[in-house]
Structure 1
Amino acid sequence: MDPRELLRRAGLEAKGPPQPLYGGDISRVYRLEAYVVKLSPNPPPGLFPAEARGLKALAERGVRVPRVFFAAEEGLVLEYLPEGPADWEGLARMLAGLHRQREAFYWAEAGFLGTFPLPGGEGKEWTEFFFLRCVEPLLKATWDRLEGLGPRVKALFQEPLPTEGPAPLHGDLWHGNVHFTPGGPALLDPSFFVGERGVDLAMMRLFGGFPQDFWRAYQVLYPIPEEVERALPRYQVYYLLAHVHFFGKGYLGALWKAISAS
């Protein structure tokens, strides 16, 4: 689809040709003046509406995100956020504020990690909720590629994970989903759900990209207990299973390392 067509469907218009922007492995992204149009050739049903709901959920909880003008199965029309200076302390304040919020129980709508579908659900027992909603679907999808690591993954979640309380999460918080604007940091492409903040922290630690300026400020604002630090490799297993699913056995070494550190 031509990005201008989705813009027209949204009842919006822009002059000039679409300008391609980086969209990662999933989407084709274009700037059209004040708007960004995200498209995908064959998106799984519900992908873009789920992203729109996640952005709305974060915005309702005080996080800067691009405004959603239009959401359809074919794509999204979002607000264009110009680039600004890096503000790691501002990001720490925003994320500490998000993670300090408390909800009544753990919950998720049906959604996606990348293009991998995840079920909805809710629960009061965290370890069971996290395993059934996040880990088990990916474990089943990758079992034949894990070279015997499947039972080791299952065993990791026989012992309870530490809990601080149900908090809203970005859900896929690698550095590529942080965007600095003139008004401060913003978050993109969420896989939103309510869980334990260790999930976000684990992804932030997994592939780097968050400097010590961020971590020093975050630790002051919302110190990370030792038991949560020790649990981060177990949360990283979730994301590494996704990488095995999408990119293959080259991530088995990192998966083994996370299992061994758990």
Structure 2
Amino acid sequence: MDVTERVIVVTGAGSGIGRSIATGLLDAGHHVVLTGRAREKLDETAHGHEDAVVVPADVSSPQSVHSLFAAVAERFGRLDVLVNNAGTFGPSGAVDEIEPADWDRTVATNLTGVFLCSREAVRMMKAQTPRGGRIINNGSLSAHTPRPASVAYTATKHGVSGLTKSIALDGRDHDICCTQIDIGNAATAMTEGIGHSARQPDGSMRAEPTFDPRYVADAVTRLVELPLDVTVPTMTIMATGMPYIGRG
């Protein structure tokens, strides 16, 4: 394997930002394991690329996640990078309007899924030779400042921030780096409505600018290719004109 090649797992690779990240990494010459719940969408992302490996998995299931990383170990014998991208907006509403079951589903995907995948990845990275690796967590601008009526999503993304910092701290003695990339208004099916009309903190509705998610892929590719003695704890990438600084 050429020293520039990495073995990379991308969760939520079947659509949106995950598809863009996976495609960008494949184009850069890396081996990419595409995972998500829908095989047909993962196959669309792979598009027959010789360096793409499709392994369907549910990040909220401990057994499914374990099987995913066992497959990576069997195929490649190591893991260089994990991109924790899988996520959901979850229910819309204030804290008194959210059903516990909807809350649990959001936490299971957005937070527990990051924990489960990172747990397996760190175990591999500690044991392999050469040891170490990089974990990149898809946060959100809502990890810092919420949108209205987004309590479940916002709480999980704040949780991702704490998880990222803890992984970075506990992993550094093992050559494991951890980054949180906070993305604002990348143009995907998940954010399509924002480009037409989005609720603002003052109660008004207005369209917000978006940007091409390939620039997220470019940023992740650059992170992936850094040596392990260099880390980027946090990164924010967003549409320039969107309301963020000072929103709320």
Where on the TM-score scale, by shorter chain, does this alignment land: which range?
under 0.3
TM-score by length of 2: 0.27
TM-score by length of 1: 0.26
